[in-house]
Amino acid sequence: MDKGKLSDGICVLASIILIAMSIISITRAQRMSYEVNTGFFCAFFCLVPLILRRLKWVTLPLPFVLLIEVSIFLHAYGVLLLRYDFIPYWDTVTHTISSITVALCVFYTLMVVNEFDPDTRFKAKTIPLFIFLVMFTFSAYWEVFELMVDELTGTNMQYSPWDTIRDLVCDTAGALIASTYAVNYMKKNSENSFVDSLKLHPYVTKLILPFHKE
């Protein structure tokens, strides 16, 4: 099967399942609006890789698309079925997988910058460091975001100070796993071949590097 069609199929399937779960949560489980809205919101985001490919903006690698779908699906599943409340380590699992996903996104972005901007070169030895720096910054702001949401909406995204520390540890683990993958990937693959596989639209490259001159 064509990888693009397989990728699209995975996105559609994940989205349909989450929409169905959200509707069931409304009609039978009587979930709160926060939980149901999270389900529908995640269902839409499951379609983002498909939309990007169909618009010919970027074709994401199939394994990365699968990781994105797993991250989104597990989070929505945990919210809709209250797994975060009743399974102690559900948050640890979902947060770690999501951290790997975000860290890989950082890695892929750095490779694109390396390929298109001759004035900005991230050496292979420094890319893992940049992944960690970006992830630590993202982690800190995410915890602040969770606190703000809790204070403004009355949700319970941050269960305790221990939950915050655990999330930061998960982010560190995700960055470490992604950095290890990045080092091994760069040993076996060239930046040029990877960027070519993305099939980036010219407008996307200009959006990423607005000051780059052809």
Model pLDDT, residue 116: 80
Residues in Cβ contact with 134 at an 8 Å cutoff, skipping those fewer than 6 apart: 103, 106
Model pLDDT, residue 30: 67
Model pLDDT, residue 161: 67
Model pLDDT, residue 209: 64
Q: What sign does the CA torsion over 165, 147, 42, 40 have?
A: positive
Kindly report the pTM of this predicted structure. 0.87
Model pLDDT, residue 214: 47
Model pLDDT, residue 208: 66
Residues of the chain with pLDDT under 70: 1, 29-31, 118, 154-161, 208-214
Residue 153 to residue 148: CA distance in whole angstroms: 8
**Residue 154 zone, left/alpha/beta (φ > 0; ψ -120 to 50; rest):** left
* CA atoms within 13 A of residue 148's CA, in its CB half-sphere: 6
